[in-house]
Amino acid sequence: MIWKLIKKDIRRRIKQPAGYLMLIAMPVFFALLMGIIFGPKDSDDTLILVKTLIEDHDDSFASHFIINAFGSERMGNMFEVTPVDSGAGRPMMEDGKASALLIIPAGFGDSLLHQNPVALTLVKNPGEAFAPKIAEETILVMAEAGDRLIALTEGPLKTIRNRVDSKTDLTEAEMALMAIQTYRLIKKADRILFPPLIKLASSKENKESTSDRATVFAYILCGVLVMSLLFSLEILNRDFFFEQENHTLTRQLLATGIFRFVTAKLLFIYLSGMISFAVVWMIAIPLFGIGVTPVLLLRLAVFALVLMAGLTGVISLIYALARNRNQGQSIAPAVILGFSMLGGAMVPLGSMPGFIRSLAVISPVYWGINAMQRLVVEQAPIGDILQHILVLGLLAILFLVPSVFLQKRKLSQ
């Protein structure tokens, strides 16, 4: 008789499949979306090309130095520099043709030689958020480096400055002296500069074994899947109220008794959850290129049995406590979101404050996600998630038993 009740609910879903398909499509869609947003990129490290205009009103060795610096190999990957005529920069900025405009004032090089304060002007495009900021930070670093360079080369600079002021040429002896001073300076800095004392070694994980993208998708999918399953179960639990509203409850209770009816409904909800779980993975595995073996599929199936029992228990208890559909529909999503947030379905647990991380264990979502990630991403054996299975199994008993009892009491009233 229980099977007949379950079969009826399944047939009802098959007759109107749109809602059910939406429930299944939801986790795949969200995992795909999040994977695309947060997954690794195929292209190189370059994030953005900052279009920068330079108005050089000085035309000195110092202004040429800045323009050349932007054109260097490293900076050239990040900046696209266009020298413009005096006064032409601002109209181009207003037309949105660049992210920043650097104005080098007249007398810039002369001020540096005399170690007088001098200001560069940076005009940022207000319509952009990141690119002008990158330009600003880079120029600040260059100014800082320029300051240090001027301080280091004070001796040779003084000689040049005197000659420029007196408008006389350097003698051969003075040139030789400057060369020796500069050589000694470079020699002193040699230990720091060639090679630099601190090196940044950046590297990427090896792409040969598993696909990064598939791993990220699988990782995200676990979180999204558990949360979506909870929402699916929430929608399925509304069936208790549907039967009441559809007036089919009394007739069923009369034919079957309350206990059988409640058991059949919960089994239907559980089975539907299992089907959703299976279908999501069947779609996700080829879609995201997740590497699977028959052993992994078997492990997932075993884990799904316990996971769905735990999740069914949680939502069914909420609905057993709810006095009406509205109450259930208001409370259940709030609990789901709370558990999902706490369990790391929305934001990785590692990004959360310590006290929230320590609270995660009270969320069934945490146990579900963590175990699935271990199975799928780390290819862990079932023995590694025994604790998860035990916790979810315990939750299933703790929640399902009272929910059957409460539903029975509610329906008998």
Partner 1 sequence: MLQITDLTKKYKDLTAVDRISFQVNQGEIFGFLGPNGAGKTTTINCICGLLKPDSGTITLDDQDMIGGGNRVRQMLGVVPQEVALYEEFNAIENLQFWGGLYGLKGAAIKSRIQKLLDLTGLADRAKEAVKNYSGGMKRRLNMAAGMIHEPRLLLLDEPTVGIDPQARHQMLDTIRQIAAQGTTILYTTHYMDEAEQLCSRLAIIDHGRILALGTQQEIQQIVGENRLMKITGTFDKSRAESLPDKMKNLVLLSIQENEVLYSLPMKETTGTFLEMLIKSGFEIDNLSIREPSLDSVFIKLTGRELRD
Interface positions with partner 1 (CB under 8 A): 1, 4-5, 8, 11-12, 15-16, 246-248, 250-257, 412
Name the residue nearer to partner 1 (CB basis): 29 or 259.
Answer: 259
358-397 b/e (C-beta count within 10 Å ≥ 16 → b): eebeebbbbbbbbbbbbbbbeeeebeebeebbebbbebbe
3-state secondary structure the chain: CHHHHHHHHHHHHHHCHHHHHHHHHHHHHHHHHHHHHHCCCCCCCCCCCEEEEEEECCCCHHHHHHHHHHCCHHHHCCEEEEEECCCCHHHHHHCCCCCEEEEECCCHHHHHHCCCCCCCEEEECCCCCCHHHHHHHHHHHHHHHHHHHHHHCHHHHHHHHHHHHHCCCCCHHHHHHHHHHHHHHHHHHHHHHCCECCCCCCCCCCCCCCCHHHHHHHHHHHHHHHHHHHHHHHHHHCHHHHHHHCCHHHHHHHHHCHHHHHHHHHHHHHHHHHHHHHHHHHHHHHHHCCCCCHHHHHHHHHHHHHHHHHHHHHHHHHHHHCCCHHHHHHHHHHHHHHHHHHHCCCCCHHHCCHHHHHHHHHCHHHHHHHHHHHHHCCCCCHHHHHHHHHHHHHHHHHHHHHHHHHHHHHHHC
Between the alpha carbon of residue 354 and those of residues 218, 350, 351, 368, the distances in Å are: 25, 9, 9, 20
Smallest distance, partner 1 to C-beta of residue 252, A: 7
Whichever of 253 and 302 has its CB closer to partner 1, that residue is: 253
- Quick one: 3 exposed, middle or buried, by C-beta within 10 A (0-12, 13-18, 19+)? exposed
Q: Please tell me the distance from the alpha carbon of residue 18 to that of residue 324, in angstroms, as a whole number.
A: 25
Residue 274, both tokens: 């299992």
Min CB(275)–partner 1 separation in Å: 19
CB of 274 to partner 1, least distance (A): 23
CB of 392 to partner 1, least distance (A): 33
Q: Minimum distance from CB of 316 to partner 1 (Å)?
A: 22
Between 8 and 41, CB nearer to partner 1: 8
Q: Which is nearer to partner 1, 15 or 187 (CB)?
A: 15
CB of 18 to partner 1, least distance (A): 12
Report in angstroms how near the CB of residue 331 gets to partner 1 at its nearest. 26
> Based on CB atoms, which residue is closest to partner 1, 158 or 408?
408
Rounded least distance, CB 12 to partner 1, Å: 6
* CB of 10 or CB of 305, closer to partner 1: 10
CB of 202 to partner 1, least distance (A): 59
Shortest Å, Cβ 332 to partner 1: 24
Q: Which is nearer to partner 1, 13 or 51 (CB)?
A: 13
Return the number of the residue (86 or 248) whose C-beta is nearest partner 1: 248
When the beta carbons of 4 and 207 are compared against partner 1, the nearer one is 4
CB 67 within 8 A of CB 81: yes
Q: Which is nearer to partner 1, 104 or 411 (CB)?
A: 411
- Select 324 or 358, whichever has its Cβ closest to partner 1: 324
Write down the least CB distance from residue 410 to partner 1, Å.
13
